[in-house]
Structure 1
Amino acid sequence: MKLSTRARYGLKALIDLGLHSENETVSLQSIAERQDISVSYLEQLMAMLKKAGLVTSSRGAYGGYRLGRPAEEISVGDILRVLEGGLEAAVCPGIENDGTCHGSDVCVAKNVWKRINDSITNAVDTLMLGELIEESRIAHEKKG
């Protein structure tokens, strides 16, 4: 499974947001500067994340963004599904447009694709944003 720039930058932006929004909202400009991501690209990502309820925003002089739920309740899978759509790394080539598969009763390869997809789903759904924020906080403290 290869993640798009949208997913990689979106995850970086949410980790940054979690690190810096404990007491106040965070501007896209400040995230853009720290993460070296264009503000216009961040606006697109945040619009998707806001629509999904993963971030909230406020307007005005002290406006900005913050997480829409506690970081401990947001999985990496939640984020990736919003930014990437589905998470399937492998799709069975025998599946028709209507979802049927000619030969599914004798095909053992489908089990390979299912196991790969189940493993990815399990990995991203059990890895929480809060863990990544804490790891980032520790890394920044060690750096100085």
Structure 2
Amino acid sequence: MKTNAVNMTEKEYLLPGNRTCPGCALSLAYRHILKALEGQVIVTVPASCLTVLHGMYPVTSVTVPCVNTPFASTAASATGLVAGLKALGKEGVTVLAIAGDGGTHDIGIQALSAAAERQNDFLYICYDNEGYMNTGNQRSGSTPL
């Protein structure tokens, strides 16, 4: 069955009290992404607002496994997670790589390009908010002039 707004689980994977800015659309989007994947997910993210949202273990705001990676290696991390799950014979777990436009278009494009060329099986989401918001809103390479 496909997940939609009507049949989405009531279970929460993003806990209240995270460290995002008030009104942050990323936390709402992330909450619904995790609910749509029904918790059967391992998340990997670069240095970004999402690492702030996750917090530092053991005080974290997510109930799913999460790997915080260096800026350029989100897709490389996802590739390794997919290979590890395959080696362990784990099925039914989605590897989710989620990065902003800076972490995707400017800094992480090499690893993402290589993963696409290898046809690695993971879900990659680029949250394009038109800049590097975690460091003061500098434009990214995909920000319109």
> Shorter-chain TM-score: what band?
under 0.3
* Higher normalized contact order (CA 8 Å, seq sep 6+, divided by chain length): 1
Q: TM-score, normalised by structure 1?
A: 0.25
Q: Who wins on radius of gyration, i.e. which is larger?
A: 1
Structure with greater proportional helix content: 1
TM-score (norm 2): 0.25
Which structure dedicates a bigger proportion of its chain to strand? 2
